[in-house]
Structure 1
Amino acid sequence: MALWGGRFSGDASAMFKQVNDSLPFDYVMAIEDITGSIAWSKGLVRAGVLTEQEQASLEQCLNTLKQDVEANKVDFSASTEEDIHSFVEAYLTDALGDLGRKLHTGRSRNDQVATDFRLWCKRHLAGLKLDIVNLLDALLSCANRHEQAIIPGYTHLQRAQPVYFAHWCLAYGEMLKRDITRIDDCVRRLNQSPLGCGALAGTSFDVDREKLAEELGFASPCLNSLDAVSDRDFVLELLFVCSTGMMHLSRMAEDLIFYNSGEAGFLQLSDAVTSGSSLMPQKKNPDALELMRGKCGRVFGHLQGLLVTMKGLPLAYNKDMQEDKEGAIDAVNQYHICLCIGVEVLEGLSLNQEATRKAAQQGYANATELADYLVAQNVPFRTAHDIAGQAVVAAIAKGLALEELPIEDLQALHASIQEDVYEWLPLEAVLDKRKYLGGTSHDTVTKALYLELEHLDQLKASLS
């Protein structure tokens, strides 16, 4: 019989059970429900509801179930229970009789599910943080392997200025570092325990909620029972963490897809993360990267869906909130998969440094250097900008690189241009002038990479 069956004389319809029952997906919180139930049993001893012997029997039975769950010996799909909470209670009742029916004293599934899901989110956020650190490790290793490689930098998907490939890697490293801080912020805000808040108005039993929170690893208990059972901000923040992180992965995937294209030819992806065509034997498609890019929209959809679900809900709990779990579970899973496949992509990536260097030399990326040279001759920048643009037009007309234009052609544009201009225009000269904090000179990038590797070691140490 359902946990709420006493009020009803008829059975729920099969169709209602299909839409109502959540065990097919909330079984993933089995460990959290068992952990919360053990803590609650101890709280009931302190409140004088259970004896120590009764609590010990309950805890022993719950730990047996926990061991079976961890060993994948429990077939949740064979159960007709409504949700993971009724599943655990039914297990206890089958094993211990009326003692199993005592455990829910003073507790509601409303505070129970809120507690379970916060614990689940904490556990999986910790896992995602480790995944991000692993990807950051792969990214910095990739930068280290190709420290001398130069690629064209782009704006508007047009060649703009040359940069070191390691600088490109470090840019995505900054995004990953921000993703880690978002996880830390998310955990800090969700780290409160709703257990003991009951259905919405609190519990009438003298349960020490501070002690409960401590035993469950929370920083503190939630302070308002209405908010505690109806808050899903922590799920929204989890989905935002996943969405922002997936957006960063999607951007990186898009760059790599373009770099891997026949038109660019900057890099090769390993066979491990590519597929072929059923018709065209020559094809080697960047499917892993395209799926990373595609799954980004899927995760965004889960965030938007829950925002719309929550926007009109009155206090306190409403069954609409059951819609929080499937999207969050899927978002965490997809983000985890994409972070892991990202590691494989970067570890197997092979850069064609000759092609990237040639591309960096093309596109008149050193036009800004010509403008800067003129500024050094006391020409106003806007005037220098116009002259450099005219020099590009002249070079295009002659089919030459900017540094190949004869000095006479350059002096025809402005008399202050001298032979030393050619010291400003080579690729290495263009890069080496970007030697200030955040720039892309070789020394600046090397120092930045060294600091990031040190930071990575600290992150790894904090997770061990």
Structure 2
Amino acid sequence: MTDPNPSALLSSRDTFFWLCTLDQASTVMTVEQGIVPAEIGARTAAAIARVIADAAEPGADRPTDYLQVEPLVRQLVGPDASRIHSGRSRQDMLATVHRLLLRDRLLLVHRALGELRGRLLASADRYQRAIVPAYTNGVQAQPVTFGHLLLGYEATLRRSAARLAEAYPRVNSSPLGVAALATSSFPVNRTRLAELLGFDDTVHNSFDAAQLSPVDVGFEVASVAMALALSIGTLVQDIHAQYHHARPWIVLDDTGLLAPSTLMPQKRNPVALNRARLLASEVVGDGVSTAMAAHNVASGLTDYKRAEAARTLERALALLAEVDAIAAALRLDEQAALDEVRGDWSTTSELANALQQKADVPFHIGHKFASALVTHGRGRQLTIDQLDFADVRRLYRETAAGFSEAAAELPLTEPQFRDALDPAAMISRYRGLGGPQPAEVHRMLVAARSALVEDVNWREAAEGRLRAAEASLRGKFTALLAQAAGPVG
């Protein structure tokens, strides 16, 4: 696996590519094991190389069924070509090809996730202290920082990356060499086949390898893609909601991601968000299709052997590419965000906190007082900053009159009252682990960057092992080719 371009890799390392790669590995192994004489192995290797070269020509056919591939080799060297198929079946070949397709796509998705996470972390760094509103039940809840929110979104993607890494050992276990499901009387070296193809292990039980593991391993990876799509769907929807506002504070600063209206000149439709949301839904649909194809199906049937999971990951790659462009264009209007916070009442919970912390007023009483302030202000179309302190003290007295546990007069000075309702001051007073206070945002940013480095290192190590295995197979196969007496066909 050497090409980081997903489109190029997906088009070149297709089912035909892997069927021929399996033939190369089987040729090397069967000669090493003495199943196939070296001279026949060399001629077969030359025929396989010829078939691969012919299929690389523009417009050439690239069969996806081994029943169509083997005759191409047999035409060049005769019936002896079938000897490399000793102890092998289309059953274990298909299971193996699907593992290899999954492996490529899993690593590509992991790479794309890392790139997107890097973009989000760069923005989180840039906006560590930028105050924005956060919402629950669709209503402004508490002020946070944009950096804090972006770190939250990155954390969801980090979990998806972790799930991919956890699934990788199960994906990268070889079914090859079990024949249909029970192995054979040929001394097929499954461990050697696994090594040549870059697998870290074999699926040990032969029945499981070809007939059972394709179900759960495929769905496991598809379910990770589904979880990823759900997380991205939330991010996309949160951004899209901004375009409902006359003055959005999160915008896409790239005209290529927007589209005009043919009727309404004021519109700049965020079509990239529409595309991403649809792709996310399609990934979820693909994952469900993966499950349904295998649901209530007896072992040995073909319903669940059609690479649905690989296609789910391909769609996830398209989704990540779209969202990466969105993340690159994401911009924050800090003043608009702050004005939105100040225009609502989301800091009033801190007033209840301040009353308990400074004057031992039970939170319930402070909450009731703060709620009375909100009702008073909204009823008069006031913002928090426009509250008259005399009205504040009166409302407190009215609230406290119903409780013996509260002081009769507001136990806060006007500066203390105003400070309790200031969004920046409120955020600075947060103490909880993982909160939006600057120290915690910085700590989480450092930790997230460290985790990203570890994830990149893991993927690059996995890719390095695959490159080494490919080089080893290429070397062994080339050595066999060198023994061929002359051209085939």
- TM-score grouping bracket, smaller chain normalisation: 0.7 to 0.9
Q: Provide the residue aligned with 1:31 in structure 2.
A: 17
Instruction: Tell me if structure 2 keeps the 8 A contact 1:160–1:363.
Output: no
How do 1:291-306 residues align onto structure 2 when only pairs under 5 Å count?
Answer: 291-306=275-290
Instruction: Tell me if structure 2 keeps the 8 A contact 1:410–1:417.
Output: no
Q: Provide the residue aligned with 2:272 in structure 1.
A: 288
420, 423, 426: which one aligns with 1:427: 423
105, 120, 125: which one aligns with 1:144: 125
TM-score by length of structure 1 reads: 0.87
Mapped to 1, the partners of 2:47 and 2:140 lie a distance apart of 66
2:218 paired with 1:235: yes
Instruction: Tell me if structure 1 keeps the 8 A contact 2:74–2:81.
Output: yes
2:246 paired with 1:250: no
How far is 1:165 from its partner? Answer: 0.7
2:329 paired with 1:348: yes
337, 352, 372: which one aligns with 1:390: 372
Percent identical among aligned pairs is 25
Question: What amino acid maps onto 1:173 in structure 2?
Answer: E
Mapped to 2, the partners of 1:151 and 1:67 lie a distance apart of 58
With 335-344 and 108-117 compared, the bigger mean Cα shift is at 335-344
Question: What amino acid maps onto 1:75 in structure 2?
Answer: A
How do 1:58-97 residues align onto structure 2 when only pairs under 5 Å count?
Answer: 58-66=44-52, 73=58, 75-76=60-61, 83-97=64-78
3-state SS of paired residue (1:97)? helix
2:393 paired with 1:411: yes
Instruction: Tell me if structure 2 keeps the 8 A contact 1:122–1:187.
Output: yes
How do 1:64-213 residues align onto structure 2 when only pairs under 5 Å count?
Answer: 64-66=50-52, 73=58, 75-76=60-61, 83-213=64-194
With 120-129 and 208-217 compared, the bigger mean Cα shift is at 208-217
Q: Provide the residue aligned with 1:311 in structure 2.
A: 295
3-state SS of paired residue (2:282)? helix
Q: Provide the residue aligned with 2:255 in structure 1.
A: 271
Q: Provide the residue aligned with 1:13 in structure 2.
A: none
Mapped to 2, the partners of 1:330 and 1:288 lie a distance apart of 22
Q: Provide the residue aligned with 2:37 in structure 1.
A: 51
Q: Provide the residue aligned with 2:477 in structure 1.
A: none
Question: What amino acid maps onto 1:312 in structure 2?
Answer: N
C-alpha change, 1:88 and 1:100, in structure 2 (3 Å) is same
Mapped to 1, the partners of 2:91 and 2:219 lie a distance apart of 18
2:304 paired with 1:321: yes
Question: What amino acid maps onto 1:333 in structure 2?
Answer: E
C-alpha change, 1:229 and 1:304, in structure 2 (3 Å) is same
Question: What amino acid maps onto 2:265 in structure 1?
Answer: P
C-alpha change, 1:385 and 1:41, in structure 2 (3 Å) is same
Instruction: Tell me if structure 2 keeps the 8 A contact 1:434–1:441.
Output: yes
Mapped to 1, the partners of 2:457 and 2:220 lie a distance apart of 26
Q: Provide the residue aligned with 1:262 in structure 2.
A: 245
3-state SS of paired residue (2:147)? helix
How far is 1:275 from its partner? Answer: 1.9
Mapped to 1, the partners of 2:419 and 2:378 lie a distance apart of 21
Give ranges in structure 1 of 5+ residues lacking alignment: 1-24
Number of residue pairs matched by the alignment: 432
Mapped to 1, the partners of 2:32 and 2:121 lie a distance apart of 52
Q: Provide the residue aligned with 1:378 in structure 2.
A: 360
C-alpha change, 1:417 and 1:166, in structure 2 (3 Å) is same
Mapped to 2, the partners of 1:402 and 1:120 lie a distance apart of 58
How far is 1:214 from its partner? Answer: 2.2
Mapped to 2, the partners of 1:293 and 1:143 lie a distance apart of 22
C-alpha change, 1:137 and 1:72, in structure 2 (3 Å) is farther
C-alpha change, 1:72 and 1:381, in structure 2 (3 Å) is farther
Question: What amino acid maps onto 1:440 in structure 2?
Answer: P
C-alpha change, 1:422 and 1:349, in structure 2 (3 Å) is same
Instruction: Tell me if structure 1 keeps the 8 A contact 2:105–2:314.
Output: no
Mapped to 2, the partners of 1:427 and 1:284 lie a distance apart of 31
TM-score by length of structure 2 reads: 0.82
3-state SS of paired residue (2:268)? coil
Instruction: Tell me if structure 1 keeps the 8 A contact 2:430–2:436.
Output: yes
2:427 paired with 1:444: no
